[in-house]
Structure 1
Amino acid sequence: MNDFLVSSSAAVKTSFHGYQRVHVVLGSESCDLDSAVSTLAMAYFLSRTSSGLQGGSPVLPVLNIPRSDFHLRADVLLLLREAGVAMETLVFRDEVDLARLHGDRRLVLTLVDHNVLHEPPADLMTHFLFFSTDSDLEGAVVEVIDHHQLQRAASFACPVTIETVASCATLVTERILSRAPEILDRQLALLLYGAMVVDSVNLSPQVGKGTVKDSQMVRLLQTLFPDLPHGGALYSSLHSAKFDLSGLSTDQILLKDMKVVAGGDVRVSVSSVFMSLDSFLCRKNLQQDLRLFCLSRRLDAAVAMTISFNAQSDEPVRQLALYSSSSPYRQQISHALLNAHGPAPCLSPLSSPYKDILAYHQGNALASRRKLLPVLARFLSDWWHREVHCGADGEEELEDQLDQPDMMTSDLAEEHPPHVYSASRHHRRRLGAEDYGSVEEDYCGGMMPPAPVNSLVDGCPLDGGFNQEALLEKFSRMGGVEERGSGQ
């Protein structure tokens, strides 16, 4: 894989001179271990198979953060170094102008570890002259592989693979093993294995994050590459690196693992913070730091989901802090979180030393950020829908509903589903109005669009059972023809 990374990063330096198309694989804006590994592995797979572009056009993995923020991902750095990946061969979001490529009709985009494009981070908004919002790139998306809740509108031109597993790397591993097992070497296996071990908490049954498919992919890699490090030891080292916040400012701690959800002009960041809530609230000048953090990134609110571990049982303890300088925003976002379900976080209010920060204990440790992000997204979409279509009356109605403690956020979303104007326009432009029909009008009127083509609908290659013996036999035959490392 190293040769692939060298050649793809070299193409960036020439501004892709001589190429009519560039196939970019883009991970999520958190750029956590799963996102980074899935981006690199999926791009390598596309470059080595017929799934990639024809005619020698490059496939480019892009880590969706500025290079200057990468040092905050200590666990990602550790695993990449262990796998022998050179940092100078990586390409970051501030090093390639996706908007210009798209404007020149040269961009082909595959999304991994997220399934809808939002506004880019504020520190990238002015980096490129042609940058507007990431949603403008929707017309270039040709495939999605993700393990989060589906948020994108249906499109016949964009196959979507979404399955609720612990790690997106699990789905990428499945894709490689089912379609091109010959490209898998120890370097690639270590990256995928590390991401799955971390996201599934080493398949711990007590934590319950790992699924049958996560376990199946981990076991297969262990069988194919017996010299992979022990899962417990690898998880411990990567976990320690991820939780090491020594010397970091509040701004850096929030940026370390952050995602942003938006509805209209309202933007909310949700950061995983690897310390106890008490330690977070005791940080010096916390409220001032949060105010500056939101101002510099054009955020209306910031949510910190703290994660620590019980010293006696070693079980995760989740707590939450919600900051906004606007009392209405705090009230409305708090209402959405308190009434969330599927699963319910079971939030209990805690005392806070700051007037602009609300604090909560989370009774359900299984309600991770991945589960709460769709709640906020639905709420903000509904809020925007009411403002756009109802004006002041909609705001008054929403305020009335906030006064009703039994009003559930999901009820709001069901009565007024989010609109899909931008996505629909992009899809109609690609498919033609006659092909796409009146999905936008039907959807806004309450009718859901047709189900997307994805693994939840049509099944996946392994649903009928994975022939492990056949795969091992194929690897054995391959070993007699060429060395396993020749794919690099």
Structure 2
Amino acid sequence: MSNNFKTYLKNIKNDLSYDKPMTVVVGNEAADLDSMATAVLYAYYLKSLDGAVNSVPLINIPRADFKLRTEAVYLFDAAGIDSDELIFAEDLDLKRLNDKDLLSLILVDHNKLSTAHSEFLNCITGILDHHADEKQYPEGIFTDIRPVGSASTLVGELFIKNAEETVSGPVGTLILGTILLDTVNLDPDAGRVTDADSAVAEKIMAITGLDRKELFDKLQFEKFNVSSLGSYDLLRKDYKEWQMGSVKCGIGSVLLPVEDWIAKDPGIVSACEKYLKERELDVLFAMNAFTNPEFTRQIVVYIPDEDLRRKTIDFLEASDLGLSEIDSTSVEGSEKCAFYNQANLGISRKKLQPIIKDFFEK
């Protein structure tokens, strides 16, 4: 079955056509490992159930940005997947398909279209997601939106139920690796794992014989291996943005301690300013998460507008994040930026987004 999976991936590019219906499975605009893996997995799942389905996974970033997802580079390689066989943003013209009424869109790891894809709302035919349900999709479509730790858990359940024979090779590696990374190796203390995540992971380990600790340790190392990246690339490595009322807000996930980041680049605020202006944002957050030796969360808030900055910081300091300020006297332009330790480890970007969305909209 692993040969079937690899053959499927190799044939995708050769079979790309704008003259027949296409079901495109696409992850969110941050294109983290969960989004990429789930898109590839679910597209193959659809093909394995019905060979006539023209299902194509779309990696929702430029091909040049794939190298920034160091953990994804590692896991796809471990699964024997050549990145040259993947379809990236510049490889597929969704508008061309839509104009010819040939596009069906399945969203994974998000349930609201990004601004760039907003014109394709009526093309959505299904959703597999684990974020807060924003209910901005057509009525009557297939949806599975549950607060599990990893979207890959949802597609893993489908493989186990309906196509278990395909899980023994690269499919199992992709599912298990993604679940382990998203749930911090199924650790309840990280506040992300659910019974569903654990059940799928245990089943796949039983089928594949993969070593949980070994796989997680390698992925964790690669995820935090950002030593070669400057501040600009750190901000864009794992990034999402939203329009929240009149406020355009971006949140990057940065995988090293704030203290190390400041020591590496005292001009961090300049990098934030450049990125904010480039993305035309009002607010830029960096949520830092790392394990050294224990799992830790920190948050950086960059807001040029003084009034908005003060109101936002007052809100965050009074919230359940459990913030304590980090010394930033060595940072150039620190008056526009705030640096915090975050005591509440359960609030990830996924959970912070609806909290600040409600605040900004009010």
TM over 0.5, yes or no? yes
CA deviation string 1:328-347 (max 9, x = no partner): 3323433443454xxx2122
Q: Equivalent pairs: percent with the same residue?
A: 29
Q: Distance in 2 between matches of 1:73 and 1:261?
A: 21
Matching of residue 70 in structure 1 with residue 71 in structure 2: no
Structure 1 residues not aligned, in runs of 5+: 120-132, 383-411, 413-488
Q: SS of the counterpart of 1:355?
A: helix
Partner of 2:260: 279
1:57 deviates by: 5.2
- Measured after TM superposition, the shift of residue 244 of structure 1 is 0.9
Instruction: Decide whether the 8 Å contact of 2:111 with 2:136 is kept in 1.
Output: no
Per-residue CA deviation, residues 284-324 of structure 1 (Å, 9 max, x unaligned), is 321111111111222222101112334xxx32221111112
Query: What is the distance in 1 between the residues matched to 2:81 and 2:224?
Result: 22
Inter-CA distance 202–45: structure 2 relative to 1 (3 Å threshold): same
Q: Counterpart in 2 of 1:37?
A: 37
What does 1:304-453 correspond to in 2, within 5 Å?
A: 304-310=286-292, 314-340=293-319, 344-353=320-329, 354-380=334-360, 382=361, 412=362
Structure number with larger C-alpha Rg? 1
SS in 1 for 2:190: coil
Q: Which amino acid aligns with 2:35?
A: S
CA distance in 2, matches of 1:356, 1:289: 12
Q: 1:232: Cα distance to partner?
A: 0.9
Are the counterparts in 2 of residues 207 and 315 from structure 1 also a CA contact under 8 Å?
A: no
* Aligned counterpart, 2:206: 223
State the partner residue of 2:232.
Answer: 251
Query: 1:11: Cα distance to partner?
Result: 3.1
Residue in 2 aligned with 1:98?
Answer: 94
Tell me how far 1:60 sits from its aligned partner: 0.8
The offset of 1:375, in angstroms, is 1.6
Q: CA deviation at 1:210?
A: 1.6
Q: Identify the match of residue 156 of structure 1 among 132, 139, 146.
A: 139
Query: Does the aligned pair in 1 maintain the 2:248–2:281 contact within 8 Å?
Result: yes
The equivalences for 1:451-470 within 5 A come to none
Amino acid at match of 1:352: S
Contact persistence 1:43–1:59 (CA under 8 A):
yes
Q: For the Cα contact (< 8 Å) 1:259–1:270, is it kept in 2?
A: yes
Q: CA separation in 2, counterparts of 1:192 and 1:203?
A: 13
Distance 1:17 1:117 in 2: 22
CA shift for structure 1 position 39: 0.7
- CA offset digits 1:175-225 (Å, max 9, x no partner): 122223233331111110111111121112433422111111111111112
Deviations, residues 125-150 of structure 1 (Å, cap 9, x unaligned): xxxxxxxx322211111111111111
Q: Secondary structure at the match of 2:242?
A: strand
Aligned-pair distance for 1:154? 6.2
Question: Whole-Å Cα distance in 1 between the matches of residues 148 and 78 of structure 2?
Answer: 25
Equivalent in the alignment of 2:276: 294
- Which moves more between the two structures, 323-332 or 110-119? 323-332
**Secondary structure at 1:304's aligned position in 2?**
strand
Equivalence for 2:19: 18
2:27 maps to 27
**Structure 1 position 108 matched with structure 2 position 113:** no
1:165 to 2:165 alignment: no
Amino acid at match of 1:91: I
What amino acid maps onto 1:326 in structure 2? D
Partners in 2 of 1:352 and 1:251 — Cα distance? 19
Contact kept, 8 Å, 1:336 with 1:375, in 2: the verdict is no
Structure-1 residue corresponding to 2:7: 3
Sort the Cα spacing of 1:6 and 1:322 in 2 relative to 1 into closer, same or farther, 3 A. same
Partner Cα distance (1:62, 1:154) in 2: 19
- Aligned residues, how many? 353
C-alpha displacement of 1:103: 2.9
How many angstroms apart in 1 are the aligned matches of 2:205 and 2:233?
Answer: 35
- 1:204 matched to 2:174? The reply is no
CA deviation vs aligned residue, 1:390-412 (integer Å, no higher than 9, x gap): xxxxxxxxxxxxxxxxxxxxxx5
SS at match of 1:62: strand
Q: Deviations over 1:10-51 (max 9, x none)?
A: 233xxx1431x111000112211111111110000111224x
Instruction: Could you tell me which runs of 5 or more consecutive residues in structure 2 were left unpaired when the two chains were aligned.
Output: none
Q: Deviations over 1:264-296 (max 9, x none)?
A: 553211111111122223313211111111112
Aligned-pair CA distance for 1:242: 0.6
Contact 1:9–1:60 (Cα < 8 Å) also in 2: no
Task: Check the 8 A contact 2:69/2:237 in 1, yes or no.
Answer: yes
Cα distance in structure 1, aligned partners of 2:92 and 2:328: 42
- Judged with a 3 Å threshold, the aligned counterparts in structure 2 of structure 1 residues 289 and 167 are, in CA distance, closer, same or farther, namely same
How far apart are the structure 1 equivalents of 2:318 and 2:94?
38
Distance in 1, matches of 2:85 and 2:307, equals 46
Cα distance between partner residues in 2 of 1:260 and 1:67? 20
Q: Secondary structure at the match of 1:303?
A: strand
Change (3 A) 1:291 1:4: same
If the length of structure 2 is used for normalisation, what is the TM-score? 0.92
Q: Is the 8 A contact 2:288 2:299 kept in 1?
A: yes
Tell me, in whole angstroms, the C-alpha distance in 2 between the residues paired with 1:307 and 1:359: 13
Q: 1 CA distance for matches of 2:96 and 2:357?
A: 28
SS in 2 for 1:115: coil
Q: How far did 1:351 drift?
A: 4.1
- Contact 1:166-1:210 within 8 A present in 2 as well: yes
Q: Distance in 2 between matches of 1:41 and 1:154?
A: 22
